[in-house]
Amino acid sequence: MNFLIDYNLRGQAVLLWGTIAAEGWLELLPIRFIGFEEVGLLENSSDRLVWQVAQANQMIVLTANRNMKGDDSLEQVIREENTLQSFPIVTISNKEKLDEQIYRERCPNRLVEILFDVDNYMRVGRVYIP
């Protein structure tokens, strides 16, 4: 499964990836972290565009700060465009706590749980982790 990593998590994504690898999940699951630049998105891309690119490429967005304000906010886009086939948006509840090892280990564990049961997470819109 491919995760589209929001630009605001670039540094923390390296930590998460290291934890996923260290726990051996890459041997069991095909997981890729993909940056905005790899799919032609700019740092200031609207939430709507991020959603559309992720859905078109069957990716789960991993973010920490997409807001609920405005017509192109992530929450508004989910309300308008979410379908039974839509992949969820995974939001890290507390980005600053990713510096703490226990919290950082809980986040990848939740990501893996979601992947194992991704069919049940389709259409839910947003999932907060850990």
**Which pLDDT band, with edges at 50, 70 and 90, does 74 fall under?**
confident
3-state SS class at 123: coil
Domains of the chain: 2-129 (3.40.50)
Angle, alpha carbons 116-53-64 (nearest 5°)? 65
Residues 6+ apart with CB under 8 A from 45: 36, 53
Alpha carbons 103 and 29: distance in angstroms, whole number: 21
Measure the CA dihedral 77/7/118/26, to 10°: 170
Q: Which of 123, 47, 50 is nearest to 82 (CA)?
A: 123
Of the given ranges (16-20, 47-51, 66-70), which has the lowest mean pLDDT? 66-70
